[in-house]
Structure 1
Amino acid sequence: MSADTITVTLAVRDPEAKRVLAQAARECPGVHLNGEGPGPVDLLVFEPGAEPGAELDRLERARRDGRVGEVFLVGREPSPELLIRAIRAGVTEFLPLPATARDLAEALARSRERRGGGREQARDTGRTLAVIGAKPGVGASTVAVNLALETNRSHPGRVGLLDLREPQGETPYFLDLECAYTWEEVVNNLARLDCTFLDSIITRHSSGLGLLPAPADGRAKLDGPAREHLLAEMSRLFDLLVLDAGVAGEQAIDLMRRVDGAVLVLNPTLPCLARARAFLEELRRQGLADKVRLAMNRHLAESEIDPVEASEVLGHALDWLLPDDARSALSALNQGRAVAEAAPKSRLARTLRRMAADLGGFAEAPAARPGFLGLLRRLRSGGKTASQGLGVA
């Protein structure tokens, strides 16, 4: 048997569906149809019975043990709860009943893409923008959240926000969101990390912006490999991913190697300028300084630190001057709204909109294709399910 051959086992209760799927599997090149006996299997096509929760638990254990590779779920339109449970168990495709040969063939083609067998080049990923504070308390989270919201305004649903602040992030407060999951779920489920799993744990703002917050207790740690994996998958899920990246330091330097661009937020104070200068000097030593742009927050027209002098000290131009407008910023935070909504006529709102326009341009998203993500969204919104296989994006 060829190394490229996929072994398929049909654990399907519906006799007609099993007949149709068996015939379709035999006609697909590179597919070997197994019986339901013991032994490892590359692909299990599975129809749950009367106790789907217990069956999915057993299925998850089989995947962890290496006895089962990929899993397709067969059945009538599932509930959102069952679908999310199936995703967590490792299911990657849904084949609706009544079964058709075309559904299985298309799902197998997507499976081959995920394995790398049917793809000539990697799928395009979105841009990643890190927002970094020169020191704690400079307003970097305010900038990150509002840049994400403003960009999402013109590209709804295509912008994501990832909170990487340590030891605790605060982005849900800025958006008035209660988040059931954080990136701690990713740390605990790295083997299952893909776009489908991510979409099941990301919280969606009413605007369509997707948020994955930091854990509230600060105990979980997102190390380098896990962070790299998470960034790669979120970049596939969103066309623009904004990172609330915390304070300038070693982690921020590591992120600068990965991101497409960054905004360093600083205040017009001597301690902050000193921290910003040290960070910029390290970026220059590592050849990363061309990725970063500077935003001076809480700027006063009559400040003792002139922007021109600050630029000379930093050896880098200041790209934006965000006015000192604590009233608008605090009002937006306390309402859980964008500054542009809480204080639409303020100078701060206008400057943030200009920043988003400067930073937020990105290529149009690729044409939509059937996916598990689409089914989950349709079910959550009460829409009808299309009669087609559902692949992982």
Structure 2
Amino acid sequence: MSIAVNDHANHIAPIPRISVQGFLDSADVAQMIENAAKDRRMAKAHVKVHIGGIPAAIEAYRTSPTPNLIVLESSSDRGVLFEQLEQLAECCDAGTKVMVIGHENDIGLYRDLIARGVSDYVVAPLNIIGFIRQVSALYNNASGEMLGRVIAVAGAKGGVGASTVSHNLAWSISRQLLLQTVLVDLDLAFGTVGLDFNQDPPQGIVDAVYSPDRIDANFIDRLSSKCSDTLSILSAPATVDRSYDLSEHAFDTTLDVLRATVPCSVLDVPHQWNGWTRRLLVSADEVVIVASPDLTNLRNAKTLFDALRASRLNDHSPRLILNMVGVPRRPEISLGEFSKAVAVEPLGVIPFEPRLFGAAANNGQMLAEVDANSKIIETIDDIAQLLMGRSVGRRAKRTLLAPLMERLGRMKAG
């Protein structure tokens, strides 16, 4: 089985809530920016595209305020370009950034433009991801890469163990990679993160959702409960004394703070489909769908994969983890058939091991605390590394499938 590794090119900090106006010479560049505006990383930006290049921008801003970012395309020679930029500078408001897309790959031209106050100069042709990265770099850190990675884990069907997988992945990332990790339980009425970590936090994620004006790094830290030096949890209330009818953007501010302050956030997304769960899955850096090998899971997984691929056009496919594989006497869809239907190979296969999982759940422990030598722990550790963009060796390729092979071997022997 081939092992897909993270595409670092797609790990780009989201663009903040800014206004962007483009004045382009060519239809190709205009279309590229319009397509980029539909990307999840630019969901907060307000983008308008015009044809006409720098002369059109000069005319437009003689009587109108300038946006946060002006994107200009020019094929003119240097003398004309510099003259046009000087005219535009007379119309620009303080704080407006200017990106020039040119057709001359010349470091001297770049330096001259930067000296004249241009924020960035890039050479066409430019693809969607390249453009988004350049805009991100203007409003985030120098590289445009975010500090924190958000991993959203959801089940294709209720009861497939997505919460257990997400909790153990967060544990593995914090323990194995020694990265500060926050596990967020979003199953607000019935979440199990408190039970799985044997904690009863007085506050959690709902306190953040209902206090959006107070959310900052310190507030999130106060709401979190520490499970170790590197792992904290934002628990769900797990009560039904209120209904949780949340807006589509309910978790936006919380995730923005987590991205900016924590290397890894793992979201335990409940098996439901509404505005805010869809937004979380679309906006996450990594999406993991957990499924069991039966027909309902296959149908639901394919539905989710198709919907998420359509909404995440510039990202790799969501990841698949098959869980509870090899239940005795249960007819199952084969690994090959399941993979073919959703058009992706599983990132890992976790066999049905009721004693290990049952002991962990009843004791409020992670799987590694119950049996550190289990092959399943190796599988989860390897998946955690892949989700965080770390390469793994041949051992990983063996361990991702080894538990399944051992299970099937024992079944055949019996």
TM-score between the two structures when normalised by the length of structure 2: 0.55
Q: CA deviation at 1:323?
A: 1.1
Change (3 A) 1:304 1:196: closer
Are the structure 2 counterparts of residues 267 and 120 from structure 1 closer, same or farther at C-alpha, using a change threshold of 3 Å? closer
Alpha-carbon distance in structure 2 between the residues aligned to 1:248 and 1:264: 13
Q: Which amino acid aligns with 2:259?
A: S
Q: Residues 121 and 267 (structure 1 numbering): CA distance in 2 closer, same or farther, change over 3 Å? A: same
Q: Aligned partners of 1:177 and 1:226: how far apart in 2?
A: 25
Aligned mate of 2:323, from 273, 297, 306: 297
Partner amino acid for 2:148?
A: G
Which residue type is aligned with residue 350 of structure 1? E
Contact 2:327 2:352 in 1 (8 A): no
Q: Distance in 2 between matches of 1:269 and 1:334?
A: 26
Alignment of 1:174-193 (within 5 A): 174-193=196-215
Q: Does 1:241 align with 2:265?
A: yes
Q: Report matched runs for 1:8-47 at 5 Å.
A: none
1:268 counterpart residue number: 293
> Could you say if the C-alpha distance between residues 216 and 327 of structure 1 is closer, same or farther in structure 2, counting changes exceeding 3 Å?
same
> CA separation of 1:143/1:204 partners in 2, compared to 1, >3 Å: closer, same or farther?
same
Q: Which residue of 2 aligns with 1:55?
A: none
Q: Cα deviation per residue 1:7-32 (whole Å; 9 max; x = unaligned)?
A: xxxxxxxxxxxxxxxxxxxxxxxxxx
Query: 1-side partners of 2:272 and 2:316: how far apart?
Result: 16
In structure 2, what is the equivalent of residue 346 of structure 1?
374
Distance, in Å, in 1 between the alignment partners of 2:358 and 2:198 is: 13
Query: CA 1:157–1:172 in 2, change beyond 3 Å: closer, same or farther?
Result: farther
Query: Is the Cα contact below 8 Å between 2:155 and 2:289 reproduced in 1?
Result: yes
Contact 1:134 1:248 in 2 (8 A): no
Q: Distance in 2 between matches of 1:167 and 1:216?
A: 4
* Residues 1-393 of structure 1 mapped to structure 2, 5 A cutoff: 121-122=139-140, 124-156=146-178, 158-218=180-240, 219=242, 220-247=244-271, 249-250=273-274, 251-288=276-313, 290-300=316-326, 304-361=332-389
Q: Quick check: 331-340 or 153-162, which moved more?
A: 153-162
- Tell me the equivalent position of 2:52: none
2: distance between equivalents of 1:224 and 1:314? Answer: 27
Structure 1 gaps, min length 5: 1-118, 363-393
Structure 2's unaligned 5+ residue stretches are: 1-136, 391-414
Report the Cα offset of residue 167 of structure 1.
3.2
Q: In structure 2, how many angstroms separate the alpha carbons of the residues matched to 1:339 and 1:178? A: 20
Describe the superposition over 1:238-269 as per-residue Cα deviations: whole angstroms up to 9, x where unpaired: 10000001126344431132110111000011
Q: 1:169 to 1:354 in 2, by over 3 A?
A: same
Residue type of the alignment partner of 2:156: A
Amino acid at match of 2:379: T
User: Retained in 2: the 8 A contact 1:162–1:211?
Assistant: yes
Report if the CA contact (8 A) 2:305-2:317 is conserved: no
Structure 1 CA distance for aligned equivalents of residues 364 and 203 of structure 2: 19
CA shift at 1:221, angstroms? 4.4
- Over residues 326-381 of structure 1, what are the superposed CA-to-partner deviations in whole Å (9 max), with x where a residue is unaligned? 2111111212221012022223222112211222347xxxxxxxxxxxxxxxxxxx
Count of aligned positions? 244
What SS does the corresponding residue of 1:223 show, helix, strand or coil? coil
Distance in 2 of aligned mates of 1:339 and 1:154: 14
Decide whether the 8 Å contact of 1:320 with 1:355 is kept in 2.
yes
Deviations 1:210-252 (Å, cap 9, x if unpaired)?
1101122142444322311111112223100000011263444
Cα pair 2:187 2:236 within 8 Å, conserved: yes
Matched residue type, 1:336: G
Distance 1:308 1:213, change over 3 A: same
Taking a change above 3 Å as real, the CA distance of residues 252 and 226 of structure 1, as seen in their structure-2 partners, is closer
Query: Structure 2 vs 1, CA of residues 200 and 312 (structure 1 numbering), >3 Å: closer, same or farther?
Result: same
Q: Which amino acid aligns with 2:316?
A: D
TM-score (norm 1): 0.58
Looking at structure 1, the residues matched to 138 and 279 of structure 2 have their Cα atoms a distance apart, in angstroms, of 30
Aligned to 1:98: none
CA distance in 1, matches of 2:318, 2:224: 27
Sequence identity percentage: 29
The alpha-carbon deviation at position 121 of structure 1 amounts to: 4.1
Instruction: Tell me which amino acid in the other structure corresponds to 1:205.
Output: C
- Distance in 1 (CA, whole Å) between partners of 2:359 and 2:301 is 28
The Cα of 1:295 is off from its aligned counterpart by: 0.3
Q: Secondary structure at the match of 1:214?
A: coil
